[in-house]
Amino acid sequence: MRGCALIISFVVGATCAAAQSGANWNYAGKTGPLAWGRLDPAYQACSKGHEQSPIDIHGARLNKKLQPIEFHYIAASLELENTGNLIVAKVKPGSYIVVDGVRYDLQRFEFHHPSETAVNGKLTDMDVELLHKSSDGKMAIVEVRMALDRGSPNAVLAMLWPHLPKTAGAKETVPDMVNPAGFLPADRGYWTYTGSLSTPPCTEGVRWFVFENEITLSLDQIRAFTYLFRLNSRPLQDAHGRRIQANE
């Protein structure tokens, strides 16, 4: 039965994506990542860009001038949406980060299986990507990689997963007060580089901050997500000589 459900999720995903703005895209088949750049003129960066995400993190250089990211996240109820390709958490205004004196307001966060960023060629089981935007429209993404721990479940996911919308286009309100700061590892050392959105239209000029340390989730939490999405991460992209920096 589980295999059937996975097949159904891909079919429904394609239907929902078609209803979104822009051309239909998916993570597999004829509308998969290799075809994104040909599906819509607005998606050309997906195939022609030279600062695409995700990438493999290796050979990062320490930059002692990089400052810690200031997190100012608040707890609030939120809405989960099944877009057919992703589970997206739409947050209420008020949470933000500050990087190099610039404020980026948290817009949403989303989940990928497996992780999108690799470290020395290795992916983790999942990730959560927190998308932020500055007042002048610049984007910053904080990625937290998640790895299996057969012990305790992840506390934030424990609040979210009972409300996972099961069908494409469905939305569920999470009444609990959820603070995205619960996704942040205790040690907040990070790697950073200039990349893009990892979904169409693959817009470039996005600042990526990938935490060096992983957080954990349980096997049941992974299974609950993969029941809906067997795979929903973009393949690794060519770094094209981009510099990857690490803070202390």
In tens, the pLDDT along 38-53 reads 999 999 999 999 999 9
Residue 143 has pLDDT above 70, yes or no: yes
Alpha helices, DSSP H only, in 161-218? none
Q: What is the pTM of this model?
A: 0.90
Per-residue model confidence as pLDDT tens digits over 79-129: 999 999 999 999 999 999 999 999 999 999 999 999 999 999 999 999 999
Residue type at 4 in one-letter notation: C
Strands annotated E in 91-161: 96-99, 102-112, 118-119, 126-134, 139-148
pLDDT band at 11 (very low <50, low <70, confident <90, very high): very low
CATH code for residues 2-246:
3.10.200.10
Beta bridge partners of 164: none
Instruction: Identify which has the larger pLDDT, 15 or 160.
Output: 160
Report pLDDT for 2.
Answer: 35
pLDDT (0 to 100) of residue 48: 97
- Report whether pLDDT(193) > 70: yes
List all residues 6 or more positions away from 146 whose beta carbon is below 8 Å from its beta carbon: 115, 124, 125, 126, 127, 128, 154, 214, 215, 216, 217
CA distances from residue 113 to 93, 171, 184, 199 in whole angstroms, order as listed: 27, 20, 18, 14
Question: Which pairs count as long-range contacts for 69-72, CB under 8 Å and 24+ apart, including other chains?
Answer: 69/97, 69/98, 69/99, 69/142, 69/188, 69/190, 69/209, 70/97, 70/98, 70/99, 71/97, 71/181, 71/184, 72/96, 72/97, 72/98
- pLDDT confidence tier of residue 155, bands split at 50, 70 and 90: very high
- The single-letter DSSP state of residue 111 is E
* Cα gap 88→3, rounded to integer Å: 23
CB atoms within 10 A of CB 87: 23
Give the number of residues written for the chain.
Answer: 248
Split at pLDDT 50, 70, 90, the class of 21 is low
> Quick check: bond before 93 cis, omega within 30?
no
Backbone angles phi, psi at 223, to 5 degrees: -65, -40
- The count of other CB atoms within 10 Å of the CB of residue 19 is 11
The answer to whether 212 touches 189, Cβ cutoff 8 Å, is yes
Q: Tens digit of pLDDT for each residue in 200-247?
A: 999 999 999 999 999 999 999 999 999 999 999 999 999 999 999 999
Q: How confident is the model at residue 150 (pLDDT cuts 50, 70, 90)?
A: confident
- Rounded to an integer, the average pLDDT of 157-176 is 97
Rg (CA), the chain: 17
CA distance linking residue 223 with residue 42, whole number of Å: 34
Domain range list for the chain: 2-246
